[in-house]
Amino acid sequence: MKELQKRIEKAKLPEHALKAALKELKRLKSLPVQFPEHSVARNYLETLLDLPWSSSTTDTLDLQAARLTLEADHYGLQPVKKRVLEYLAVCQLTQGLKGPILCLVGAPGVGKTSIGRSVAKTLCRKFHRISLGGVCDQSDIRGHRRTYIGSLPGRIMAGLRTVGVRNPVFLLDEVDKLTRGGVHGDPAAALLEVLDPEQNSSFVDHYVGLPFDLSKILFIATANSVATIPAALLDRMEVLEVQGYTSEEKVEIAVRHLLPKQLKQHGLTPDQLTIPPSTLATIANNYTREAGVRGLERNIGAICRSVAVKVAENRGESGKTTPTVVTETMLGDILGPQKFEHEVSERLTRPGVAVGLAWTGMGGEILFIEASRMPGSGELTLTGQLGDVMKESAQIAFNWLRSNASRYGVQCDVPKETDLHIHFPAGAIGKDGPSAGVAIAVALVSLYSRRCVRSDTAMTGEITLRGLVLPVGGIKEKLLAAQRAGIRHVVLPKRNEKDLVELPVNVKNQLEVSLVSTVEEALTKTFDGGLAPISKL
């Protein structure tokens, strides 16, 4: 009891917390040690005293040092670095800015979590990660009331208790994967009070039961997609998109960060193992197909383990180690056969096939569309586990072709004599969205005109019944996917021209981009020699 009394005197508690602590201490003294309520009251009092009511760290507001730290820790990601430096600059001028609520959105492996660590390092603040994936109980955020046996504070207050300061950097990881609609309340709704700058200065955890100021915390949320984040929660955050990496950027990241990290983890030195940039590029292109670098790091780790066996064996036999330089020809023995090949040109050697571009939470992907006709009764069949929006896109593309068939001199006889089948491989993966409209229309025109689509071309864009091409999202990720797949020519909606600004220069140099406003313009760009209508409307 004397120890708790001393801790209360030294804790520098605010008035309302001091009053509650003294009241609980008085109650604790009146309870026999063998009573269950004694341990409950003691745990509560210790939690109250462990919270950082007044302790905090001093921010480092040196912009030049912050810029150097961010550049050293991460390659690229300029929009994110720019936003962090803006925050530091305003803090330096005002000394009173509340922490922004940043939400980093991007594919897995692009560095969202490590950005949070770098921000904390830049500010000289403590860092704490809170994983929200699968959280289904609002009590995980707000805490459990003390009337329950084994009650605990929520993850926010528990995190503050762990770091011991009131102004840490909190990373709310996988905020888009909160489970909603359960019987234990909505954790996403509980986060609203935590992230609202107008309310979080007096946040009340159910277990603590006292208002606590969360406004000094710098919250950084991460997500793979904003589509599953509730609108009210999304409104309280500033979304920063973390784009995928080009092949050249992946190689640079591997040389600067991944390879040294894996060498250290496996007890190797650069003198014992060297992986040239050309080999790293082969790994990135032929053994992984991702927006981030997580798969690339796993493959580098596999190479390190293979070399570590040789180093250990040689050291045991002769005490000497022979330097190993991993060439591209050695990858097959270490990593096995290549997992991905540039198959686009081989699959576009017959009419009725086109390549679309898709975007998912994992990054950009190429999407094949195959159309075939056969004798039947005029049915339109769509396969490939399609969503309603994608089915409607296929119907729109087909009806556009029916209304314009005579202009292109094709016989579109599906209504009476033949069946039309449109398939989207791979069939086990669900697909949805309107951006395949242009590719479906091109595949159908290719089928009925008996002309093959250009083997180096991919396309994306929503279409209307009048043949207009509308803008779509995820342009950078789609173009990076096209580059990874060996595509050299991409057809995009004209209204997406603004999205090309954020594309790296080296990708622009490798891709020929055609901007179109109508399906008619798209057909002139997707066939060798073009495909112009033989008559006007």
**Residues with a known catalytic role:** 435, 478
What single letter denotes the amino acid at residue 76?
G
Could you give the dihedral angle defined by the CA atoms of residues 397, 403, 405 and 408, in that order, rounded to the nearest 10 degrees? Answer: -90
SS3 513: strand
Could you give the dihedral angle defined by the CA atoms of residues 496, 362, 459 and 339, in that order, rounded to the nearest 10 degrees? Answer: 150
Residue 236: which H helix or E strand, with range?
none
Q: Which two tokens stand for residue 490?
A: 């991409």
Q: How many CB atoms lie within 10 A of CB 387?
A: 12
What is the sign of the dihedral through the CA atoms of 362, 74, 505 and 284? negative
Burial of 315 (0-12, 13-18, 19+ CB in 10 A): exposed
Using left for φ > 0, alpha for ψ between -120 and 50, and beta otherwise, residue 334 falls in alpha
Beta bridge partners of 459: 356, 491
Does residue 368 contact residue 425 with C-beta atoms inside 8 Å?
A: yes
Question: Could you write out the three-class secondary structure of 8-43?
Answer: HHHCCCCHHHHHHHHHHHHHHHCCCCCCHHHHHHHH
Does residue 462 contact residue 470 with C-beta atoms inside 8 Å?
A: yes
CA nearest to 438, candidates 519, 526, 352, 527: 519
Residue corresponding to tokens 């180690």: 321
Whether the link from the prior residue into 17 is cis, omega within 30° of 0, is no
Does residue 218 contact residue 100 with C-beta atoms inside 8 Å?
A: yes
Q: How far apart, in whole angstroms, are the C-alpha atoms of residue 493 and residue 470? A: 6
CA distances from residue 31 to 5, 356, 360 in whole angstroms, order as listed: 16, 72, 58
Residue corresponding to tokens 């080009």: 246
For residue 515, the Cα-to-chain-centroid distance in whole angstroms is 27
